[in-house]
């Protein structure tokens, strides 16, 4: 049960009123300061296009930008060839965001102390809200992309976390228009799955709002990290599209490693991702698109061990199945308003539901093995003789994402998003279960609102003044209060200058 004090309500109300007043003051200012926007760096320097040619608001693509990307970063004229480029042209973009943000998390369990004989002595624990604010940095993205030759394109994105630790976020080479057909395109490397709603071009930056929860949701206690659609994956992709890009299909074969390198997980486990969509011209309303996607595959639940129980990287066997299926609609209501809707159903094998699957401690760069024998220092391992608990069953869930944009101009965009992830079958609630949980355990609801204003954008640099608020609620995952676990609410306010050069 949650208890709110009147003082807390008053404080929240005053804060919300202040933020609303500030927003009402700033919106007229940015509306009166709008200037014509030019192109993004890198490709803009090559083609001389305005940013609005490819972007609703950078980095989110519009219809023409998606077509340009589908053609392998080519407009399909003589300027596509690298030899056309000025010798001084360097197709590189640096992107980083200095920010101020405030993060507030409710119901965190903290230790309590008392003084015994002048010595601090632990007395137990208590639950309280933890809030912190301050100035910070995002990571650094180092984009470079283009054509190596006519119909041979590449993308390279070294990326760091805020501490400067680098990894390769995207790396691929792509062969376009094989046999002069737009239906025959292949790429190999580490790349984003062909989602209509792209997480890598997301317009929001907060910790919980900067990803799509629908793409990443995992039931509580589930060990399957391999089906996260929003993450870049390692593999090969086929993409086909009509000349006008109204019809699109794609199929990818990826390693079941969630994009981690060095064969750190399963020895022989793969997943497939399939997508298709069709666009329709509805006159004044614009081009509408509907589509589907599905991700299905197998991943390891048993890792060979050494040293008395330490799993060996790359030795994963005992593959079990999982699947994700979704529908997407992108709807435009004139020149300024659009709405994207994603619905998804997910299910994992019963073994994943019991925590088996990821027995390798991954760090995003290939991972390292656990440093202590299972089960003391690592996740569960499905070694021979392991028996499922009574009542174990395959977890399943449903998710939905609504994301709307109001594009006042290419310089100013307002963003709103709602996401909900709901369990339909818990992993431990089968017949005879000795440890059932609430049917809503782990459910997520989250809201994100914000706006981005570009005071200028040239073919050399761009700047966006970014303002965002995210609120996330999760059922039952907080510390226990009496007989039941608490719900957790987390809020974040972020103001930053998102720039590229």
Between vectors from CA 265 to CA 144 and to CA 392, what angle results, nearest 5°? 125
Which pLDDT score is estimated for 362? 52
**Do residues 105 and 130 lie in contact, with contact meaning Cβ atoms separated by under 8 Å?**
yes
Does 85 or 201 have the greater pLDDT score?
Answer: 201
Which segment of 223-232, 310-319, 361-370, 479-488 scores lowest on mean pLDDT?
Answer: 361-370
| SS3 label, residue 39 | coil
Residue with tokens 């630790």: 165
Q: Is 334 left (phi over 0), alpha (psi -120 to 50) or beta?
A: left
CA atoms within 13 A of residue 350's CA, in its CB half-sphere: 10
**Do residues 269 and 322 lie in contact, with contact meaning Cβ atoms separated by under 8 Å?**
no
* Cβ-proximal residues to 194 (8 Å cutoff; 6+ apart), any chain: 237, 239, 248, 250, 252, 273, 275, 293
Which pLDDT score is estimated for 380? 85
**Do residues 370 and 378 lie in contact, with contact meaning Cβ atoms separated by under 8 Å?**
yes
pLDDT band at 377 (very low <50, low <70, confident <90, very high): low
Which segment of 39-43, 359-363, 483-487 scores lowest on mean pLDDT?
Answer: 39-43
Query: In whole angstroms, what is the distance from residue 325 CA to residue 343 CA?
Result: 8
Q: Where are the domains of the chain?
A: 7-112+122-500
Query: In whole angstroms, what is the distance from residue 35 CA to residue 58 CA?
Result: 16
* Cβ-proximal residues to 255 (8 Å cutoff; 6+ apart), any chain: 233, 234, 235, 263, 265, 266, 269, 270, 271
**Rounded mean pLDDT of the chain?**
84
Residue with tokens 């981005």: 452
Query: In whole angstroms, what is the distance from residue 422 CA to residue 402 CA?
Result: 15
Mean pLDDT of 307-329: 90
The pTM of the full predicted model, rounded to 2 decimals, is 0.84
Asked whether residue 37 carries a pLDDT value surpassing 70, the answer given is: no
Q: 7-112+122-500 architecture in CATH? A: Beta Barrel (2.40)
Compute CA distances 268 → 70, 241, 264, 315, 319, whole Å.
Answer: 30, 31, 11, 9, 9
Does 149 or 18 have the greater pLDDT score?
Answer: 149
Mean pLDDT of 460-485: 84
Which pLDDT score is estimated for 87? 57
Q: Can you say whether the dihedral through the CA atoms of 159, 161, 166, 169 is positive or negative?
A: negative
Cα 344 to chain centroid distance, Å, stands at: 15
* Cβ-proximal residues to 38 (8 Å cutoff; 6+ apart), any chain: 44, 50, 51, 457, 458, 459
Q: Which of 279, 287, 275, 288 is nearest to 249 (CA)?
A: 275
- Over residues 107-151, the pLDDT tens digits come to 888 888 888 777 888 888 888 899 999 999 999 998 888 888 889
Mark 96-124 as b/e (b = at least 16 C-beta within 10 Å): bbebebebbbbbeeeeeeeeeeeeeeeee
**Radius of gyration, CA atoms only, the chain:** 24
Element (H, E) at 65: helix 63-70
- Over residues 88-102, the pLDDT tens digits come to 566 788 899 999 999
Which segment of 10-19, 69-78, 87-96, 400-409 scores lowest on mean pLDDT?
Answer: 10-19
Query: In whole angstroms, what is the distance from residue 220 CA to residue 212 CA?
Result: 17
**Do residues 392 and 221 lie in contact, with contact meaning Cβ atoms separated by under 8 Å?**
no
Which pLDDT score is estimated for 491? 96
Q: Which of 63, 125, 85 is nearest to 332 (CA)?
A: 63
Mean pLDDT of 446-468: 89
SS3 content of the chain, % helix, strand, coil (to 5): 15, 45, 40
Which pLDDT score is estimated for 372? 67
CA atoms within 13 A of residue 478's CA, in its CB half-sphere: 26
Q: Which of 50, 44, 141 is nearest to 85 (CA)?
A: 44
Which pLDDT score is estimated for 457? 74
Query: In whole angstroms, what is the distance from residue 155 CA to residue 171 CA?
Result: 6
Q: Can you say whether the dihedral through the CA atoms of 208, 212, 214, 217 is positive or negative?
A: negative
């Amino acid at each position: 049960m949650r208890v709110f004090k009147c003082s807390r309500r008053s404080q929240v109300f005053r804060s919300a009123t202040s933020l609303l007043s500030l927003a009402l003051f700033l919106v007229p200012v940015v509306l009166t300061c709008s200037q014509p926007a030019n192109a993004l760096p890198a490709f803009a320097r090559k083609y001389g296009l305005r940013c609005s040619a490819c972007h609703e608001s950078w980095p989110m693509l519009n219809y023409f930008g998606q077509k340009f990307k589908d053609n392998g970063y080519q407009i399909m004229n003589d300027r596509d060839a690298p030899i056309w480029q000025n010798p001084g042209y360097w197709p590189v973009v640096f992107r980083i965001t200095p920010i101020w943000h405030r993060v507030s998390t409710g119901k965190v369990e903290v230790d309590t102390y008392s003084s015994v004989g002048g010595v601090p002595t632990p007395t137990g624990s208590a639950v309280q809200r933890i809030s912190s604010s301050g100035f910070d940095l995002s990571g650094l993205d180092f984009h470079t992309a283009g054509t190596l030759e006519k119909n041979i394109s590449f993308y390279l994105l070294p990326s760091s976390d805020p501490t400067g630790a680098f990894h390769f976020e995207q790396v691929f080479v792509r062969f376009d228009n094989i046999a002069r057909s737009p239906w025959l395109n292949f790429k190999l490397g580490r790349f984003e799955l062909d989602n209509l709603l792209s997480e890598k071009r997301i317009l929001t930056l907060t910790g919980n709002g900067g990803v799509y929860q629908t793409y990443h949701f995992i039931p509580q206690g589930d060990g399957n990290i391999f089906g996260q659609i929003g993450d870049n994956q390692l593999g090969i992709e086929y993409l086909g599209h009509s000349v006008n890009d109204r019809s699109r299909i794609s199929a990818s074969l990826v390693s079941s490693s969630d994009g981690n390198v060095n064969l750190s997980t399963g020895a022989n486990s793969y997943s497939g991702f399939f997508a298709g969509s069709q666009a329709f011209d509805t006159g004044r309303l614009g081009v509408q698109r509907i589509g589907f996607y599905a991700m299905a595959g197998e991943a390891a639940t048993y890792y060979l061990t050494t040293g008395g129980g330490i799993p060996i990287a790359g030795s994963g066997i005992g593959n079990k199945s999982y699947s994700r299926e979704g529908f997407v609609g992108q709807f435009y209501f004139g020149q300024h308003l659009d709405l994207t809707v994603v619905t998804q159903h997910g299910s994992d094998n019963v073994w994943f539901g019991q925590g088996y699957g990821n027995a390798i401690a991954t760090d995003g760069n290939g991972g390292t093995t656990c440093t202590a024998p299972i089960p003391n220092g690592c996740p569960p391992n499905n070694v021979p003789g392991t028996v499922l608990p009574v009542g174990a069953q395959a977890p399943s869930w449903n998710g939905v994402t609504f994301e709307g944009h109001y594009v006042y101009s290419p310089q100013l965009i307002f963003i709103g998003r709602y996401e909900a992830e709901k369990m339909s079958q818990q992993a431990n609630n089968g017949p005879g279960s000795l440890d059932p949980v609430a049917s809503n355990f782990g459910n997520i609801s989250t809201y994100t609102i914000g706006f981005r204003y570009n005071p200028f954008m040239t073919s050399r640099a761009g700047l966006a003044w970014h303002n965002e608020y995210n609120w996330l609620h999760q059922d039952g995952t907080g510390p226990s209060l009496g007989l039941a676990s608490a719900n957790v609410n987390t809020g974040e306010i972020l103001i930053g200058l998102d720039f590229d050069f």
